[in-house]
Amino acid sequence: MMFSFPNVCFLTLGITTSVTPFITLSVFVVLGIIYLLIVPLFLFYWMNNRWNVMSKFERLFVYGLVFLFFPGLVLFAPFLNLRMNGQKEV
């Protein structure tokens, strides 16, 4: 009796079907959307709102996330303006 890798992995979970290419492609697309779109947009929003009040540990954590999600941040960088608002004229 010969087992393939996907069947062995799913047998431990109690699932007896094998992985189809559609499931693999779907998971890949969902993870790509999360990595390139959702998390970078949330990170831009977080940095824009908290930049002047972050503690040093939070800033270190944000810098780590920027390093981790750099490709998605580069995709949105031309379209977002994170400059501070200037002083209002009285």
Specify if 54 maps to a domain: yes
For 17-41, the pLDDT digits (tens) are: 667 888 889 999 999 999 999 999 9
Specify if 86 maps to a domain: no
Domain enclosing residue 38, as ranges = 5-79
Specify if 89 maps to a domain: no
Specify if 88 maps to a domain: no
Closest CA to 75 of 39, 30, 46: 39
Query: What predicted TM-score, i.e. pTM, was given to this entire model?
Result: 0.69
The torsion defined by the Cα of 54, 55, 56 and 62, in degrees rounded to 10, comes to -40
Specify if 57 maps to a domain: yes
Specify if 85 maps to a domain: no
For residue 50, how many C-alpha atoms fall within 13 Å in the half-sphere facing its CB?
16
Specify if 9 maps to a domain: yes
For 58-90, the pLDDT digits (tens) are: 999 999 999 999 999 999 988 887 777 777 776
Q: Are 35 and 69 in contact (CB under 8 A)?
A: yes
